[in-house]
Amino acid sequence: MKIIGLTLLYFLTGALLFALLTGLLWITNGYLHGYPAFGITLAAGVGLALIVARRELSLIGKMLRIAPVMIAFLFAAWSMVPLKQFDFPIDPDDPRFEMWDLEGDRTVSVSQHLPPENTEPREETILFIHGGPGAYVRDFDRDFISGFSDEGFRVVIYDQVGAGRSPTVDLSEYSHQGNVDDLMEVIKKVDTPVILFGQSYGAALATSFMADYGELFDVRQIIFTEPGPLPGADIDSDHPHFKKKTTKAENVDGLEFHEVIRSPRLLLSMILPSDNRFVGQKEVLYSFGPDLQKKAVSNSYCREHEDQLLEFEHLPVNLLATMIIRETFMEAEKPDLRELGIPVLLLLGECSYVPRGFAMEYFEHYSISRSHLIRNVGHILWTTPEGRSTSHKAIMSFIDEDELPLENKPTYETRIQFIEEGL
């Protein structure tokens, strides 16, 4: 029993050593990439090893006693090895892309798509606001959205700061409000009446923009596709309408946590405060590579369409920005825009993995003019030929105030039934 007790004691010592490193990283917020915290942990480990070595034991006995400490030390040392980094900037050889400088030394990558010469130009610009946060505009998003230039619109698409082709900023400068202010700056540079087109998190971003700056700009119409939670929503709610997927149509399985966090260094980074200085942004950007991105996108498809997964260029997804913006997003105001007086279109996918309760909350904060359920598509509506065609038709009929191409469903009156029936 004494031997077992001593063995457990030494293993507990090893665990406490790693806990010491974690605690020091937390207290110092990963200062200087965690090297001061690691130095103190190393000194503590050496001290423990020397104490054990002084005991009257054989060499093998001493080695067995200090083995847990050595394992903890090696694990800690492994977590200190820097990961590969993603190098900025990305400068595509395409004249449609340009960098727009915004306030506060922030820069966004913008692509503009103008109507063909033989098309009568419209007054409005369609401005696409992508999801995430921390994600970017993928090739298939741009291919679909830019198609509205054929209808006479100037189309402007941008990557939010710190992801895609838009340069990173210091971790302290990421926030939901920062994204809202960036959107305001982008619209100011567009300098025409706009139709806001927000997908997923982009809907929440557009909502905060309308609350803060909407009266200052000529916003003609708003389009929301598969909106995520409203700003200020309790995204950790235990309510069944918000807790888990509520659609009966099956989507493809997405990423698991362990597939993203594949090293002790990333694991430590994710349990530290989101603005920690332990792991650099470029390390995290590199870690979320093409294979993981494809799997993350795959759950935006219905299960029977998994083999139609579209190819796209791998660009940076900024998970650190995601975590920080998510926190500030939850603290934002949930505005009531029912008196806005601007037509709003809501489009939903049948196989969405986002709990329907979040999208249905938009009925309580906007006067939604039209809403449509697009069959046989998931969270991204334009990932199949049928989805692209139906979504384009629904959007153009809304903009032009034509006849409804689909049933107006759900509505404010049927929103709860829509959730509970799992449509």
Helix, strand, or coil here: 196?
A: strand
Assign domain 97-420 to a CATH class.
alpha beta
Element containing residue 348 per DSSP (H, E)? strand 344-349
Helix, strand, or coil here: 231?
A: coil
Confidence (pLDDT) at 1 = 46
DSSP H helices, 58-163, are 59-79, 139-146
Helix axes of 176-190 and 201-213: crossing angle, nearest 10 degrees: 70
Confidence (pLDDT) at 3 = 45
Q: How far apart are CA 59 and CA 129, in angstroms?
A: 65
Q: Residue 364 in contact with residue 227, Cβ under 8 Å?
A: no
Q: How far apart are CA 291 and CA 29, in angstroms?
A: 30
Q: Residue 207 in contact with residue 337, Cβ under 8 Å?
A: yes
Residue written as token pair 């997804």: 317
Please state, in angstroms and as integers, the Cα–Cα distance from residue 343 to each residue in 138, 270, 311, 412, following that order. Answer: 27, 41, 34, 15
Q: How far apart are CA 366 and CA 417, in angstroms?
A: 19
Q: How far apart are CA 248 and CA 423, in angstroms?
A: 6
As to burial, measured by CB atoms within 10 angstroms (0-12 exposed, 13-18 middle, 19+ buried), residue 311 is exposed
For residue 13, the number of C-alpha atoms closer than 13 Å in the C-beta half-sphere is 20
Domain segments of the chain as ranges? 2-79, 97-420
Confidence (pLDDT) at 9 = 52
Closest to 303 (Cα-Cα) out of 381, 342, 251: 251
Confidence (pLDDT) at 279 = 87
Q: Residue 203 in contact with residue 228, Cβ under 8 Å?
A: yes
Helix, strand, or coil here: 227?
A: coil
Element containing residue 52 per DSSP (H, E)? helix 35-53
At position 297, the amino acid (one-letter code) is V
Q: In degrees rounded to 5, what are phi and psi of residue 157?
A: -130, 135
Residues contacting 238, CB < 8 A, separation 6+: none
Confidence (pLDDT) at 53 = 58
Lay out the sheet containing 344-349: strands in order across: 97-102, 106-113, 154-158, 125-129, 194-199, 219-225, 344-349, 370-374
Q: For each successive 10 residues of the chain (423 residues), what is the average pLDDT?
A: 49 74 88 87 76 59 64 80 77 82 94 93 97 95 97 98 93 95 98 98 97 96 97 88 91 85 83 84 88 93 92 91 92 91 97 96 96 97 96 98 94 95 87
Q: Residue 22 in contact with residue 44, Cβ under 8 Å?
A: no
Structure tokens at 71: 């394992």
Closest to 72 (Cα-Cα) out of 6, 22, 14: 14
Q: Helices (H) and strands (E) in the chain — how many of each? A: 15, 8
Q: What is the pTM of this model?
A: 0.91
As to burial, measured by CB atoms within 10 angstroms (0-12 exposed, 13-18 middle, 19+ buried), residue 76 is buried
Residues contacting 275, CB < 8 A, separation 6+: 29, 171, 172, 320, 324
Q: How far apart are CA 299 and CA 317, in angstroms?
A: 17
